[in-house]
Structure 1
Amino acid sequence: MSRRGNCYDNAHAESFWSRFKAELLDGVRFPGLAEAQLEISHHIAERRHSSLGYHSPNHFEKQLQTTSQLCPA
């Protein structure tokens, strides 16, 4: 374990996996690998992030594209 702020600090990854397990995998059994992959990819794409104003990455990106089209450089 390294000191706080060091590049070896994996707190973000640990936080992601703990929330992922609590939100999606809590006692869930998938019928097959394809269903699990689909559900996991959907969950990651639609998960709301506090750093994005509690929007999903897809929603945030669409909003950013709309805003950038309205304000040409």
Structure 2
Amino acid sequence: MVVLLQADTMASVSDLKNEMRSHEVSIAELNALPSSRTVYQKNGNLFFRTTVQTAANMEQKQLDSAKAKLKNLNSSV
């Protein structure tokens, strides 16, 4: 049972690291765009037009959330 929990935790850690890397790349790409550029942000199955700054802020929040989840997983193991 403990081995199964550790395997699930390792998979979750790997998934979170991949998610964090994706958010980091997204933030870098958004920061490379001019502020006048229109971007579209996915929400469910729909895309909404937004500003570069708003999209970057949302990505940063998601990155912070993933980091917090990873920290909780690491502290529980």
Tell me the TM-score normalized by structure 2.
0.30
Higher strand share: 2
For CA contacts below 8 A with separation 6 or more, give which structure has more relative contact order. 2
**Greater Rg, structure 1 or structure 2?**
1
Give TM-score, length-normalised by structure 1: 0.31
Greater share of residues in helix = 2
